[in-house]
Structure 1
Amino acid sequence: MSKLKLSVAVGNYDRCRPLFDGDVQIDGVDPVFMQLSPEEIFFRAFRHAEFDICELSLSSSVVKTANRTLPYVGVPAFLSRMFRHSAFYVRKDRIKRPEDLKGKKVGLPEYQLTAMVWIRAFLEQDYGVAPEDIVWVRGGISDAQRPEKIKLDLPSSIRLIDAPEGKTISALLAEGEIDGFIAPRAPDVPKAQAHNIGWLFDDPLVEAMSYYKRRQIFPIMHILGVRRTLAEAHPWLPGAALKAFTEAKDICLERLRETSACKITMPFVDERLHADMTLMGEDFWSYGIEKNRHVLEEFFTQHHRQGLSSRRIAVEDLFHPATFEQFTI
């Protein structure tokens, strides 16, 4: 029996490296890997469903699931997870604390990005700054023509405006036309213009660790998707994908724990890994539904609260039923 020849588009992550190198196989699949940026994958996946298996934005997936238009079924391999306390930049000459953002203008590349949902959630929960308290200015980080990938129908209480034609949100921040900037990437601002720009939180690491201690949430950014028509024709495929990506991630962490030589080009990796495991447990980057149900439920609640999803979806609406449990011996 021949294997399915499928396109697989994911980021160039260490947790996927054993798949790229052939150390881990996806059962029944002859993969054609494409290592692309998240922005390119998401644009091509949500506009044209170009890939058979691919990394997906959690937020975009929820928007489409709520509208019953997602061309993929979800697989709970969480290829990107990240605390986003370092993703918020402000004019430090105006904004001294999160509460100062009330009534101010904050730029973002797309209102519905996953990182934006998590940031708006902790701003409201921890600092009392609701999404309705800010004027959101949508525009590209480096390209003024960047579009919102998905059409949104937001409540009238959400004030979302477009950046002036030809202006990026990076330029608006540098020129002082907006007070803050949140995005998965840093502002594209020349060094000479950046002297009044800095993180909202002076020490985002301390802030993120405090958040985790309070809420036990390690934010999920991206999931894995399998083309829905393929999953219907081959119901074993989503489970096979989860098995393979989980094995690859486990091998990655096993290699990272081996301390004879530094695996990535950063000092203090061993110390950082030890600190992360002390705070979050050995399985800190877990895949699967049950270990992450509370994170997903919180995200779905916040997503609907912020007006992005037409209904509050359930975990079962997004993920393929074959991925809820795996065999044990």
Structure 2
Amino acid sequence: MAKVQLSIATWDYDRVRPLIDGRVKVEGCEITYLPMTVEECFQRAYLHGEFDVTELGFSPFLIGRSRGAMEYEAIPVFLSRMFRHSAIYIRKDRGILRPEDLRGKRVGVPEYQMSAALWARGMIQDDHGVRPDEMTWIQGGLEVPGRREKFPLNLPDSFPLEAAPAGRSLSKMLEDGELDAIFSARAPSCFSVHSPSIGRLFPDYKRAEMDYYRRCGVFPIMHALGLRKTLVERHPWLPVSLYKAFAAARDIAEQDLREVAALKTMLPWLGADLEQTEKVMGRNFWTYGVEANAKTLDLMFRYSYEQGLAVRLMTAEDVFIPSTLDDSIHV
């Protein structure tokens, strides 16, 4: 039987590199792997459906799925996970010393519906009681004006969200004092050049994020893996084959982290960082599958619905390909 020809597009993570270089195969398939930045990957996948298998921003996927507007089905392979206390940047001259001080402020966001912003808003509301509608949101490109949402917004007409002025980037607006804060997965350039007026809401974000995990047991999910819907219908075995291959690649990446005789990365204290991470989160901290991530997934589903993104409260059964819900494949 001829092998299925697949194009796969993701960022060049350590946890996918064994698939890129051929150490791990996808059973029954011949793959063409296209590493690219996540912004390019999402743009080409969501707007043009170019790839058979693709990394997907999980918040936009939930939105599209809840509205029945997705060309892709989801596999519970979570390629990107990050705590997002580090993603909130502020003007230091606006009296913003704690999350509660964001009430009434003008806050920039590259895409209101992006996963990083969803998690940051949810954390701010659950832990500090600040609702999204207590801030005014300005949506636009972080460094290049004109960025837009993947799906039309579904917020109430009275919700305080507006577009950035034409020709203005969020970073420049923060630098010039037209914004009080930015929620962004990437650091704005005005922060990266060490402007004295720009800082983080949580300067010691690592401590804040570790405390969050100790209290909540949640490791936020940013991106999942999508498979073209027509291929699921044509090859019912394919979702599990992909799941197993991506899990095997992740396992190799984890083994590489533990190689201390000759470090494979340029971080001299990688071993110490790994030990600290495992002390807080346990040895198996980067899990795939539904059962091991049930608490994190349920919280993300709630945030999406509460924040006016998904049009209904989703469940794992609504979101993932049924064959990938089987606990026997999850490792």
Which TM-score applies when normalising by structure 1? 0.97
Amino acid at match of 1:35: P
Distance 1:72 1:160 in 2: 29
Q: Does 1:79 align with 2:82?
A: no
Q: Deviations over 1:164-187 (max 9, x none)?
A: 111011011000011001111111
Q: Deviations over 1:289-324 (max 9, x none)?
A: 100011111100011000011111111111001111
Distance 1:263 1:158 in 2: 48
Deviates more, 1:280-289 or 1:318-327: 318-327
* Residues 154-193 of structure 1 aligned to structure 2 (within 5 Å): 154-189=155-190
Amino acid at match of 1:59: S
> Residue 191 of structure 1: CA displacement?
6.7
Q: Does 1:128 align with 2:129?
A: yes
Distance 1:324 1:314 in 2: 12
Alignment-derived partner of residue 29 in structure 1: 29
The answer (yes or no) to whether the contact 1:174–1:193 under 8 Å persists in 2 is no
3-state SS of the aligned residue for 1:194? coil
> Residue 208 of structure 1: CA displacement?
0.3
Q: Deviations over 1:252-271 (max 9, x none)?
A: 10121121122211121000
* Residues 284-299 of structure 1 aligned to structure 2 (within 5 Å): 284-299=285-300
Distance 2:85 2:158 in 1: 25
Where do 4+ consecutive residues of structure 1 move more than 4 Å? Answer: 190-193
Distance 1:3 1:35 in 2: 22
> Residue 155 of structure 1: CA displacement?
2.1
> Residue 193 of structure 1: CA displacement?
7.8
Structure 2: give runs of 5+ residues left out of the alignment: none
Distance 1:191 1:276 in 2: 26
> Residue 157 of structure 1: CA displacement?
4.8
Distance 2:134 2:146 in 1: 26
Distance 1:274 1:227 in 2: 38
* Residues 134-145 of structure 1 aligned to structure 2 (within 5 Å): 134-145=135-146
Which TM-score applies when normalising by structure 2? 0.97
Q: Does 1:305 align with 2:301?
A: no
Amino acid at match of 1:129: V
The answer (yes or no) to whether the contact 2:240–2:329 under 8 Å persists in 1 is no
Deviates more, 1:192-201 or 1:295-304: 192-201
Q: Deviations over 1:237-285 (max 9, x none)?
A: 1110000000000111012112112221112100000111111111100
Identity over aligned pairs, percent: 44
Structure 1: give runs of 5+ residues left out of the alignment: none
Amino acid at match of 1:97: R
Alignment-derived partner of residue 39 in structure 1: 39
Pairs aligned (count): 328
The answer (yes or no) to whether the contact 1:83–1:218 under 8 Å persists in 2 is yes
3-state SS of the aligned residue for 1:140? coil
> Residue 156 of structure 1: CA displacement?
3.4
Alignment-derived partner of residue 93 in structure 2: 93
Distance 1:156 1:129 in 2: 20
The answer (yes or no) to whether the contact 1:131–1:158 under 8 Å persists in 2 is no
Distance 2:315 2:25 in 1: 31
Q: Deviations over 1:119-166 (max 9, x none)?
A: 000100111111011000001011112122221111235311011111
Alignment-derived partner of residue 257 in structure 1: 258
> Residue 192 of structure 1: CA displacement?
6.8
Q: CA RMSD in A?
A: 1.3
1:192–1:289 distance in 2 versus 1, CA, 3 Å: closer
Q: Does 1:278 align with 2:253?
A: no
> Residue 189 of structure 1: CA displacement?
2.3
Amino acid at match of 1:69: A
Distance 2:27 2:57 in 1: 25
1:11–1:192 distance in 2 versus 1, CA, 3 Å: closer
> Residue 39 of structure 1: CA displacement?
0.7
Distance 2:268 2:201 in 1: 26
Alignment-derived partner of residue 9 in structure 1: 9
Distance 2:160 2:227 in 1: 35
Q: Deviations over 1:62-94 (max 9, x none)?
A: 001100111111001100000111111000111
Distance 2:261 2:85 in 1: 32
Alignment-derived partner of residue 102 in structure 1: 103
Distance 1:316 1:292 in 2: 13
